[in-house]
Each structure stands twice: as structure tokens, then as C-alpha cells.
Amino acid sequence: MYGNAYIDPNDKATAMTAGEDPKKLEEFEARIARGEKIEPMDWMPKEYRKQLVRMIEQHGHSEIIGALPEGTWITRAPGFRRKLALMAKVQDEVGHAQLLYSAAETLGKSREAMINDLITGKSKYSNVFNYPAYTWADACIIAWLIDAGAIINQVANAKGSYGPYCRALDRICTEESFHLKYGHDNVVTLATGTPKQREMVQAALTRWWPPIMHFFGPSDKISNHTEILMRWKVKMATNDDMRQQFLNMYVPKIWDLGLTLPDENLIKNAAGKWEYTEPDWDEFKRVVNGGGPCNAERLAVRRNAEERGRWVREALNTTESKYIVPLA
Amino acid sequence: MNQKTTEAIKELLYKMADDLLIIGHRNSEWTGLGPILEEDISFSSMAQDKIGQAQALYVLLNDLGEQEPDTVAFMRNANQFHNSQLVELPNGEYDFSLVRHFLFDHADQLRFESVANSNYEPLAKVARKVKGELKYHVFHANTWFVKLGSANEESHNRMQAAFNEAWNYALGMFEPSKNEYLLIAEGIFEGEETLQEKWLANITPFIIKAGISIPSSETWNPVYGGRVGKHTKHLSPLVEEMSEVFRYDPTAEW
């Protein structure tokens, strides 16, 4: 997983480059146009740095928050095979957070500052994790379809312009492709299993469909996306394009399993484009802004973990001089 | 192999496997909640090793006529488990988890080293592989135990308190088993008493280095019972949680 680090760029191009040295800006843009990567010590516009920090950080947060709904199923996974695989998967996700925070640190923001912004609600994470994983099947749907969505997003972003982020994404995508197989195998097992299993996987899919449709972010029609982020290769594909790609790859697979999707209008038209009921973007905004079923709980768990671990971090930061127990 | 020796081997395999399954389960509970990301990942990694090791031992039990590994792990009730009570205790804070990890993994390392030379070849074979994994678990435990035991006043006090709390349970890992004498006689396992002596010798230098005090030996009171299915109130909810999905539809393939 998990990052669908879409950007909702309402900033206007002129405001984004205000005050930058025109010559340096021109060279910077020429480098990107030539397909070169920008490295940490290179010159970059302030806004480029800011947008990347925001995006990479948000992606990192999505990994550790995303570990929560799936993580709760590790202790309940049915059988050795599933238990071992799910543990390895969620461990990967936490490892991704570590990689991503490191990539973001190269732009000048410390991990502590990022985590602090997460737990105080200042920075966001993927909206889908504000929904609960009620059953084992929910965890399976997440592993398959949310990871599938994340791969589409990340494969695109891996071709972006910022070197450290691209390299982190290359590695992340390799691991994600295993998660996808794991998730698919689980869903196939449930969908072709006993009546109880089929019922639970269908219910989970129905529950998760609206968040999945929200996953790539607001429609291009309402998202005022800026050319400049595409030109800078911070954003590599539009939200709607990624959504189309996802539908094209996964709807047929879902239908093949005999599962149904809760959208009567979902159909591939003659031009090869998917038509669907417009997702409820008001609901999306409400959840992004804290009104989802799990926003408060997710942050509370994270805050609590940070609080409980504080003494460990403080102890780690003490110098090598050894604490001696006082004699009296 | 005669019937009695086989029973004794099963007894040994069950206690080893159940210890690993339950500590692995507890370790996995740190996923997403560790004090730093790196530790989150470490505990998750060790959890995978432990659960994998447990599975390998349940396979040996299956070869001796017991049920399938999944059935044994996910369909028994708490009173049919043979793990020591130490491993079933809740994680508590990171201090307790770490102290338990230190005390348990040193013992487990010795146990596997011992059976790597066992005359029971299937177990010896598994043990030779597991030993390589345990080396890193013990290394991890030593590093953190020493660091946190001696870093600052708060970390020291926490580690000492956790150590005191865990100590008698840790001694309980070496609860003697009924048929152990057969295993000793046949060169299959060297026995709990020997193991405990070696364990004390191995852990003491690190305890001293960490500035932690071992409770005075007059107060030692090993918590036995786990090996014969007597458990704390904490094991039942753990087992129920672990098998919740598996038992939801026992006819299903998961």
C-alpha cells in the first residue's frame, strides 16, 4: 500500500513560482523536461519542495495508518499461511513508511516533525483508512484492491522527477506487487469458498467500493489541477485517468469472481471508457476533514503509540555515558 | 522408538512449539504500535520467525500422528496449550516486552542449540535452521536490554521493574516435564535443569552490563503449570482471538 498521494492543487502557477530566479527556474524545468532526476542538494523552487514534502509525507503517513486496520487482523488470521503472509505484508508497509520518511527528510523536514504533524491532524493520510475493517474479508479486500490502486498511483509517481522519492517508490512497488497477489489469492479463496465466505467477501466489497472510488481523489472536473505540477513531474497522472486505469484492470477481475459491485451505472462504453455513478465527493470531503467513522480512533491509536514510546526514544537519545544506579 | 519415548518427544515438541506460537502472537501485537518504526519492524520480523518455527515443529508433531498444524494451532482450547506462562502475559509496555524477549530468547536459543545435536534427527534438522534465526533475536534483545537498562533513570527503573515482574515467570520456562528423563537417557534433549544453568550463565553478563539486579535467590519462586495446561487468565482471550476467523467456518479452506 497505500499511498494515493494525489495532490489537490488549487494554487495558481504564477503564485507557485513567485520570487524564484527566472534563470534557475528555467534550467530546473529544462532538466526535468530532459528526464533528469532532481537530487536533494540541487536547486529547486520552494513550491516544488513544499509540494513534494507534503506528498511524500502524506504517503508515509498512509503507510503507518494503513497498518492499523490490517494489523488488527494479524492476530486473527486463519491459519499459518495467512498469518505469516499478513504479518510480512504489514511489516512491509511499516518499512515503506520508514523509506518514505527518509525520502522526505532529504527535503529538510525531520521524521519527528512529520509524525508530530500527523498526530496533531495537521497533515493528512489516505482517506480510505478512515473506514473500518469489520471482518477478515475487509482486510482481504484492502490487500487486493487498495493495494492495487496504490500500485497504479505509485508506478506513475515512480517516473516523477525527484530522485529519492522515485527510488523509494521503485522498491515499494516491487513489494506491493506481492501484496497484490496475496490480496487477490485471499479474495479468490473467499469468493470460491463456502457460502459463509462468499457472503463475507461480497459484504466487504460492497462496503469498500465507495472508499475505493474515492481513492484517487476528486474528479478532474472539480479538481482544479495545475499544469505546473505535471510539468515539474510531481504529479504524473490525473485523478480520473488513474481511476479509469484501475477500473479497467480490476472490474473485469471482480466480475469474473461472480462478485457484484454496488453501482448499477458501472459499464465500459463503446469508446472503451468506464462510466460510473459519480462518487459522493461531499462525503469524501467530510471524511478527509475528520468526519469519517475512524478518523478519531486512528489518530488516537497513533498518538497513544507515540506517547507510550516516548521514554524509549528519549533513552535512545541519551549519550553513551552510562546511568549508574545511585547507592543511596 | 518405543511408545514412551515417542510420547516424551511429543511433550517436548508441544512445549517448544506452543511457546513459539504464543510469543510470536504477542510480538505481532506490536505491529503498527512500536516506539519507533525500526522496532515495529523488528518485532514483526521476529514474530514471523517465531510463528514459522512453531509451524515447523507442529509439522514434526503431525509426522508423529498428531493433527495438522493448522488444526493443532487454531482448534485447541487454552488448557490444551503447553507454553510457559511467561509468553502468554500481555505485552504491557515496551519495557516488559523487551525484558521478556531477552529472557525468553536466551532460553530458546539454548534449547535449540541443545536439540541441534539431538539423537532425534527430524528435530535436530529443524533446530539447525532455527539457530541461525535465533542468533539475531538474541542479538537484538541484548542490544536493547543493555541500552535501556542503563540509558537514563526512567528507562533503568522501568527495565528493573519489568525484570522483577518477569523473573519468576521466566524461571517457569524450565518447569520439569514428566518424561524428560527418557529424553535425557536417549540423548534427545539435555533437560530443563541443565538448560536453566546454562541460561543463567549466558544472561548474567548482559544483566550486569545493563545495571539490572537479579532478584535475590531466596525470593525465586518459579511459576510452573504452563507445561501441563495451567494458564493465566490471559491465554484464553488470546486463543479465542487467534482462532476467531478459523472457527467461523471450520469446513472452509482459508
**Domain at B31, CATH number:** 1.20.1260.10
Q: Judge: A318–B151 Cβ closer than 8 Å, yes or no.
A: yes
- Domain extent for B128: 3-248
Tally of structural domains, chain B: 1
Q: Three-class SS string for chain B?
A: CCHHHHHHHHHHHHHHHHHHHHHHHHHHCCCCCCCCHHHHHHHHHHHHHHHHHHHHHHHHHHHCCCCCHHHHHHHCCHHHCCCCHHHHCCCCCHHHHHHHHHHHHHHHHHHHHHHHCCCCHHHHHHHHHHHHHHHHHHHHHHHHHHHHHHCCHHHHHHHHHHHHHHHHHHHHHHCCCCCHHHHHHCCCCCCHHHHHHHHHHHHHHHHHHHCCCCCCHHHCCCCCCHHHCCCCCCHHHHHHHHHHHHHHCCCCCC
- CA distances (Å), origin B228, targets B12, B14, B22, B79, B133: 12, 11, 15, 8, 28
Q: Residue A158 pLDDT more than 90?
A: yes
> Of A3-12, A159-168, B91-100, B106-115, which range is least confident?
A3-12
Residues of B in contact with A74 (CB under 8 A): 28-29, 31
Task: Label residue A18 by pLDDT band (50, 70, 90).
Answer: confident
Residue B103 lies in a domain: yes
- CA distances (Å), origin A185, targets A254, B86, B125: 12, 36, 32
Considering only CB atoms, B29 lies closest to which of A73, A75, A196, namely A75
Alpha carbon of residue B1 to chain centroid: 27
| Mean of pLDDT values over A222-226 | 65
Q: Which three cell numbers stand for residue B169?
A: 515467570
Residue B100 lies in a domain: yes
Instruction: Report phi then psi at B36, rounded to 5.
Output: -140, 155
pLDDT in tens, B13-26: 999 999 999 999 99
Instruction: Report phi then psi at B13, rounded to 5.
Output: -65, -40
Residues of A in contact with B39 (CB under 8 A): 312
The total of other beta-carbon atoms located within 10 Å of residue A304's CB is 12
Q: Judge: A91–B32 Cβ closer than 8 Å, yes or no.
A: no
Q: Residue B1 pLDDT more than 90?
A: no
Is residue B49 within 8 A of residue B137, CB to CB? The reply is: yes
Task: Label residue A221 by pLDDT band (50, 70, 90).
Answer: confident
Residue B158 lies in a domain: yes
ipTM: 0.95
| Mean of pLDDT values over A265-280 | 96
Domains of chain A: 13-299 (1.20.1260.10)
What local confidence, expressed as pLDDT, does residue A323 receive? 75
Considering only CB atoms, A67 lies closest to which of B29, B31, B158, namely B31
Residues of A in contact with B44 (CB under 8 A): 87, 90-91, 94
Q: Judge: B74–A78 Cβ closer than 8 Å, yes or no.
A: yes
Q: How far is A234 from chain B (nearest CA, A)?
A: 26
What local confidence, expressed as pLDDT, does residue A15 receive? 80
Task: Label residue A17 by pLDDT band (50, 70, 90).
Answer: confident
Residue B254 lies in a domain: no
What local confidence, expressed as pLDDT, does residue A5 receive? 55
Residue B253 lies in a domain: no
Residue B10 lies in a domain: yes
Q: Which three cell numbers stand for residue A318?
A: 541519551
| Mean of pLDDT values over A108-127 | 94
Residues of A in contact with B150 (CB under 8 A): 322-323
Residue B178 lies in a domain: yes
Q: Judge: A64–B37 Cβ closer than 8 Å, yes or no.
A: yes
Q: How far is B250 from chain A (nearest CA, A)?
A: 10
Residues of B in contact with A312 (CB under 8 A): 35-36, 39, 94, 148, 155
> Of A105-114, A318-327, B117-126, B152-161, which range is least confident?
A318-327
Asked if omega into A2 is within 30° of 0 (cis), the reply is: yes
pLDDT in tens, B123-164: 999 999 999 999 999 999 999 999 999 999 999 999 999 999
Task: Look at B230 and A228; give whichever has higher pLDDT.
Answer: B230
